[in-house]
Amino acid sequence: MPDSIQGEIGKLLCACKKPLLLSHIRPDGDAIGSIIGMGLVLKKAGKQPLLVLEDGLPSKYRFIAGSELVANQIKGDYDLVIALDCSDKGRIGEIGKELPVNINIDHHITNEKFAQVNLVLPEAPATAEILAAHLPEWGFELDAPSASALLMGIVTDTIGFRTSTVKPSTLRRAAELMERGANLSEIYLHALVTQSFPTSLLWGRALSHLVKENGLVWTAITLDDRKEVGYSGRDDADITNLLSAIEGADIAILFNDQNGGRVKVSWRSNSPYDVSWIAQQFGGGGHPLASGADIEGVLEDVKKRVLDVTRQYMKNMHLNLKGDKANG
């Protein structure tokens, strides 16, 4: 990270009194851990942070200290706007449309660098790890509650240290957070293992729609599925992680139907398949092996469009890989 960015972020954080912390719609563990971890650190430093997630906080993450600080609306004034774990401004949701963002901290390779100051480190496995590394450098102290939130962000985005982005430094950072008081076993249990009964029912519905076509696997969550099993969230209930574990799946896709005529599409892949390129064709983005897009249209139409583009991409990749082997 350039020293100029490091210094500018430090100055902005030190000078603010009422920072507004935002993250993306349908928040995952990294979004939640980042916003709570940073919020607790700033609060400990005597500031009055506002923590806002448009979709609120999913119940499974309410075990983490500081979760009570998260609101779903912006109430009150603020003097600094910070976006965490957002690849583009639109991911913040309606509440962020008109806001000028001062600081953007993220790890998505497709980040559009939409803020006054942008700290984007695609090599980091989680935004929470970026914060764990740099908050002390900016003059802020990590304690047990903030360390726990940040460790939750790392654990969830790496699926328990299983992703290819995990490096020795990731494990060292996790150890440092544990030394600060974070309880790894508790975080792992609540964030990755324990699931609600409606979540389990939703998994069953999604798996009942499962389709496998050569190296491509996909399924869908319909609006009726969520309603009938009593699942109130708009997120994917970690079903994408189930799909990515299927043997022989080079690319897995989850179609998550949303109100208002939109479909959230999530891709997962194994190397060398870069699904961030596919997501960008639909206005989305993310990581080479994990990306998403929010697409306008009815579920069946969106499925057809996405599957057509994904199949063509895979066909081209197979031809390229075949050519590479022949030339080698």
- For 210-229, give the DSSP string: -EEETTEEEEEE-HHHHHHH
Predicted confidence at residue 233, as pLDDT, reads 84
Segment 28-44 shows an average pLDDT of 98
Q: Can you list the alpha helix ranges (DSSP code H) found in 16-143? A: 29-44, 127-134
300 or 244, which is more confident: 300
User: How confident is the model at residue 201, as a pLDDT?
Assistant: 96
Confidence of residue 12 (pLDDT cuts 50, 70, 90): very high
According to the model, what pLDDT value does residue 319 have?
80
Q: pTM of the predicted model, to two decimals?
A: 0.89
Residue 2: exposed, middle, or buried by beta-carbon count in 10 A (0-12, 13-18, 19+)? exposed
Residues 153-204 pLDDT 10s: 999 999 999 988 999 999 999 999 999 999 999 999 999 999 999 999 999 9
Alpha-carbon span 145 to 48, nearest angstrom: 17
Residues 101, 79 contacting (CB under 8 angstroms): no
Residues 71-97 have pLDDT tens digits of 999 999 999 999 999 999 999 999 988
Percent of the chain with pLDDT over 70: 97
Which of 151, 144, 152, 146 lies closest to 175 in space, CA to CA? 151
Cα 35 versus chain centre, distance: 12
Split at pLDDT 50, 70, 90, the class of 293 is very high
Q: What is the amino acid identity at position 113?
A: K
Other Cβ atoms less than 10 A from the Cβ of 14: the count is 12
Over residues 219-238, mean pLDDT: 93
Between these two residues, 315 and 1, which has the higher pLDDT value? Answer: 315
Query: How confident is the model over 303-323, as a mean pLDDT?
Result: 89
Mean pLDDT confidence for 37-62: 96
Predicted local confidence at residue 133, as pLDDT: 96
Task: Give the pLDDT band of residue 323 (cuts 50, 70, 90).
Answer: low
Nearest to 126 by CA among 93, 150, 92, 102: 150
Quick check: helix, strand or coil at residue 255? strand
For the chain, first and last CA: distance in Å? 37
| pLDDT band at residue 302 under the 50/70/90 scheme | very high
For residue 1, pLDDT over 60 is answered with no
Residue 309 phi, psi (nearest 5): -65, -40
Does the structure show a pLDDT above 80 at 212?
yes
What share of the chain in percent tops pLDDT 90? 87
Query: Tell me, what's the pLDDT at 4?
Result: 84
Mean pLDDT of 283-292: 92
What band does 271 get if pLDDT is binned at 50, 70 and 90?
A: confident
Average pLDDT over residues 25-50: 97
Report the chain's mean pLDDT, rounded to a whole number. 94
108-150 per-position pLDDT tens digit: 999 999 999 999 999 999 999 999 999 999 999 999 999 999 9
| Residue 255 confidence (pLDDT) | 98
Q: Is the pLDDT reported for residue 278 higher than 70? A: yes
Q: What is the pLDDT of residue 232?
A: 87
- Quick one: DSSP state of residue 193? I
**For the residues 64-74, what does the mean pLDDT come to?**
96
- DSSP, res 28: -
Question: Tokens 């200290």 sit at which residue?
Answer: 65
Question: Which residues, listed in sequence order, are joined to residue 200 by a DSSP beta bridge?
Answer: none
- Report d(CA 231, CA 57) in Å as an integer: 14
**Sequence-ordered strand ranges (E) for the chain:** 19-22, 50-52, 70-71, 80-84, 103-106, 117-120, 211-213, 216-221, 251-258, 262-269, 285-287, 290-296
User: What's the pLDDT band for 322 if we cut at 50, 70, 90?
Assistant: low
